[in-house]
A and B are shown apart, each in its own frame.
Chain A
């Protein structure tokens, strides 16, 4: 029909004219973008209301946090029409058990915000510019998989299997995770260069066993309430999240347990829990510990009987065979060999803790029984972190707080009583491994690395690292030390020849990918999680929605790579999907935990709370029945003096007894002339390491700043909130200053995990602490010393 319109207004005249001019001539080619489907049965256009009803139903599906905080919280997704419209969390009552509450923190409450961010990686990409430049082009999954498979093959043929390396990554911290799957793949394909240690606990996990023969030295947190005094030494569970330990800590506080926090920074834990805050200069903890031992010894407050019975190396009378009595801990404290008595006054000068305070703390700790000196993992991430760990274990032993309820053996403090296996990795045909922190060394000089560099399993590495899988991890740049140096190493395409990164955002690490793959999030895959040691539950993380765009869980494409390598069947071992693997995990778990629910029950409820009648007390057996239960040390005793360390013959940096070692880039380093401030990188409640940094709400929780004391700020003319540059020879960050009494004078703190964002001048404008940290490892563990830095701060 010819319908003509008479114009009543002129407002749209231009368009109407245009229509008159062109109307009939305009035909669209193809039909529109083609993203929509029109149902063939057309709707009733005459009805003014819709004819197709939209379902209103909302389903609640349990899932779980799986980034690497110490918790794994219940996250319930409220789903409507395949869209998560809201989240809720554990509604379990507090009575259900002090170590099974799994309520989401500020991060969990904003998982939607983080994980449905419009900046998600959406499609596979290949690098088109120079490596690290961040220039990528979209490719198909087929091309990505083909490239990965052929490079994996090529590098193996050219440099040998040990040139292939799967990097440390904790973005998916659950039973099924990309990095172990990639290890599984390479183990089946001839091998890879393995690593040991973590970025969290290298020093403590290596040093603690020299005292006790194991790192499992913690009592479970449901025991906190049995203490009379709790000393949180560099321990900040409120922000870091250690399993579910905050709730038991609160219970202890309510029960009247005195809590003292030793920390250079007035942490949220100290604010919320502590009766007293003792600030100590970073890296000087051993001077304070030595002085505490001095007080105990000189005032005869230590538990000599306990020491005589359970320990060796405390005094001249209890030394291993053939070792001079002057090498004992007591002799060192009293200065019998070096002529320095480790008095509180001596320690005050080093630590900036008043002698009075040290004396008081020593007396209180020695005379209040039981007392728990609980170490966090922050202090040990330092140049001589091994000493800090061992120092505390000795204090715990001197006060007889080992193996008893309400006490704490100190050290690494692992205390897990539940066991949930992950996807198994077959034995690696290449037996060598490196300390994870030295992976950049293994890129540059791998084939020169030997036991001296911490190489284990082989005498010498056969080659440098040539290929890296970095899956759901940001330690390729951001969480490793010295970003500038790391970037330089990675940018050199003649060193590492191929890098695969899978992630959910364009992180600083992702920028260095050759093939960049879009990963999925916790809502988009089935998995099983459990918190770090301190939490007695397991969660079924249900897949709630499909991964958006072309995102995929790592398993999906690794299977295809395996197919191209001809090992798909071995790789999957009959487990086609994540759900197949979670079934396997449940079956394995039920072999050890007989009351663990069936797969169907677990998947539906989303949570299993383990029930225990009483707390787990580390070394209870060893203390109650030492004859039948020796410690797992060479002597069978608590080794205050370690013959194994002695035999290493490096007493300056690896002493046989724990000692204060004046640290490079510590408060006594002459470098202080140039860089007068110490700098640490605290954990912040707004991120899990680097996850959530791009959630802008985090900036409202805690802005990314460099914390400094008003005394240090004043002399530099720095006011709260002004832009400053914090720098040393390794790099510069430019962020606002937070001028606060919550950090002690002489110390600055930049919360770890901000995304390294260098501008054209190479200045990091986001404030990644690792712009300032060093590749130099700690002596024994070869661990990351990320809290050992000297810097200067100036107005920008």
Chain B
């Protein structure tokens, strides 16, 4: 499919026209939406199919959207803020779209929406201080108010590198994933755990491509498993600590959004699994 197609769609809630997707973002996609005559069409390699006003949704779209979220969240916790990355998020107006939804109310969304809305206006100075805040929160050298590693919340000693770290490592290994620097950086960094989910999503996408429903199901189940047994058990404490200890809307917003998003995502995965029978 051609690069550079712009997607326009109407917001379901307010009816506003939404223009999204920067050109280069499409390069990875093998499918896309178009909005024609108030109907959303998915364009696949194999042609077009119509989705009935968002009551029927392409599973791949769901997965791609999830992938995007996990990517955003993972990077936000593991990498220092980078202006071009943030600006891309802004252009997509994701949180704008979320906020207009009655069904998912979360304080973090508004905060993130406002943050990303203003990102183009951010001064160098403000951006520097955002980077410093990232360093303060996740790098040091002082006391980390909300350490981003699971074992700090789960181990008896509240330390980095513990049996919990190994459990996470083991889970990764099951799926052929290794932490690049596992003897230097604990595997259970929240950023890595979110990245791991995004790898699983990627894997599930390729199983879909192969029409392998069984494999696809297993990967979905693994995601639920990992989320429940390794992330959800500490994420609330982490996000409470984080939101209490930062005044920066990016991090406050992420802290408030993350656990709710993950919980919703588990529900979504469970729905997906339940509905796999209905897939044609």
The closest CB in chain B to the CB of A136 belongs to B141
Q: Which of A295-340 contact B (CB under 8 A)?
A: none
| Contact B98–A14 (Cβ < 8 Å) | yes
Q: Which of B94-111 contact A (CB under 8 A)?
A: 94, 97-98, 101-104
- A residues near B170, Cβ cutoff 8 Å: 54
Interface size bracket, A side: 35 or more
A12–B12 CA distance with the chains assembled, in angstroms: 15
Q: Judge whether A604 is part of the interface by a CB distance below 8 angstroms.
A: no
| Contact A35–B211 (Cβ < 8 Å) | no
Q: Judge whether B231 is part of the interface by a CB distance below 8 angstroms.
A: no
Q: With A27-B29, A36-B172, A138-B139 in contact, is A3–B280 under 8 Å at CB?
A: yes
| Contact A32–B275 (Cβ < 8 Å) | no
The closest CB in chain B to the CB of A122 belongs to B140
Most chain B CB neighbours (cut-off 10 Å) among A1, A38, A113: A1
Interface size bracket, B side: 35 or more
- B residues near A51, Cβ cutoff 8 Å: 174
Which stretch (A15-23, A89-97, A161-169, A231-239) binds chain B? A15-23
Q: Judge whether B120 is part of the interface by a CB distance below 8 angstroms.
A: no
| Contact A18–B65 (Cβ < 8 Å) | yes
A553–B139 CA distance with the chains assembled, in angstroms: 19
A47–B222 CA distance with the chains assembled, in angstroms: 11
Q: Judge whether A715 is part of the interface by a CB distance below 8 angstroms.
A: no
- B residues near A547, Cβ cutoff 8 Å: 184
| Contact B184–A546 (Cβ < 8 Å) | yes
| Contact B157–A110 (Cβ < 8 Å) | yes
Q: Which of B32, B104, B143, B172 contacts A14 (CB 8 A)?
A: B104
Q: Judge whether A80 is part of the interface by a CB distance below 8 angstroms.
A: yes
A548–B11 CA distance with the chains assembled, in angstroms: 48
| Contact A118–B147 (Cβ < 8 Å) | yes
Q: Which of A3, A32, A37 contacts B198 (CB 8 A)?
A: A32
Q: Which of A45, A113, A123 contacts B158 (CB 8 A)?
A: A113
The closest CB in chain B to the CB of A13 belongs to B103
Determine how close the nearest CB of chain B comes to the CB of A57; give it in whole angstroms: 12
A9–B269 CA distance with the chains assembled, in angstroms: 12
The closest CB in chain B to the CB of A112 belongs to B157
| Contact A118–B159 (Cβ < 8 Å) | yes
| Contact B140–A506 (Cβ < 8 Å) | yes
Q: Judge whether A613 is part of the interface by a CB distance below 8 angstroms.
A: no
| Contact B173–A45 (Cβ < 8 Å) | no
| Contact A15–B195 (Cβ < 8 Å) | no
- A residues near B24, Cβ cutoff 8 Å: 27, 29
Q: With A45-B203, A118-B159 in contact, is A25–B32 under 8 Å at CB?
A: yes
The closest CB in chain A to the CB of B47 belongs to A2
- B residues near A516, Cβ cutoff 8 Å: 141
- A residues near B212, Cβ cutoff 8 Å: 45-46
Q: Which of A2, A13, A38, A84 contacts B44 (CB 8 A)?
A: A2
| Contact B162–A36 (Cβ < 8 Å) | no
Q: Judge whether A494 is part of the interface by a CB distance below 8 angstroms.
A: no
Q: Which of A21, A29, A84, A118 contacts B18 (CB 8 A)?
A: A21
- B residues near A4, Cβ cutoff 8 Å: 49, 51, 56-59, 279-280
| Contact B62–A546 (Cβ < 8 Å) | no
A43–B172 CA distance with the chains assembled, in angstroms: 11
A197–B210 CA distance with the chains assembled, in angstroms: 75
Q: Judge whether B177 is part of the interface by a CB distance below 8 angstroms.
A: yes
Q: With A4-B58, A14-B101, A16-B62 in contact, is A22–B208 under 8 Å at CB?
A: no
- A residues near B181, Cβ cutoff 8 Å: 35
Q: Which of B88, B139, B159, B268 contacts A123 (CB 8 A)?
A: B139
The closest CB in chain B to the CB of A1 belongs to B211
| Contact B177–A39 (Cβ < 8 Å) | yes
- B residues near A20, Cβ cutoff 8 Å: 33, 40, 51, 54, 57, 61
A659–B8 CA distance with the chains assembled, in angstroms: 95
Contact pattern, A 85-125, Cβ under 8 Å of B = 1, otherwise 0: 10000000000000000000000001011001111111101
| Contact A6–B25 (Cβ < 8 Å) | no
| Contact B97–A549 (Cβ < 8 Å) | no
- B residues near A84, Cβ cutoff 8 Å: 161
Contact pattern, B 156-178, Cβ under 8 Å of A = 1, otherwise 0: 01111111011001101111111
Q: With A29-B25, A546-B184 in contact, is A15–B65 under 8 Å at CB?
A: yes
- A residues near B184, Cβ cutoff 8 Å: 546-550
| Contact B60–A50 (Cβ < 8 Å) | no
Contact pattern, A 271-311, Cβ under 8 Å of B = 1, otherwise 0: 00000000000000000000000000000000000000000
| Contact B143–A506 (Cβ < 8 Å) | yes
| Contact B152–A38 (Cβ < 8 Å) | no
Nearest 6 pairs of A and B residues by beta carbon? A23-B61, A25-B21, A50-B174, A26-B68, A14-B101, A118-B147
Q: Which residues of A contact B (CB under 8 A)?
A: 1-29, 32-39, 41-43, 45-48, 50-52, 54, 80-85, 110, 112-113, 116-123, 125, 134, 136-138, 506, 510, 516, 545-550
A–B complex contacts, Cβ < 8 Å, 11 sampled:
A3-B208, A14-B101, A18-B94, A20-B57, A20-B61, A23-B64, A26-B67, A27-B27, A50-B173, A54-B170, A118-B147
| Known contacts A37-B179, A45-B212, A116-B159; 12 further A-B pairs (Cβ under 8 A) | A3-B208, A6-B55, A14-B264, A18-B101, A32-B195, A38-B199, A45-B215, A117-B159, A118-B160, A119-B142, A119-B147, A549-B185
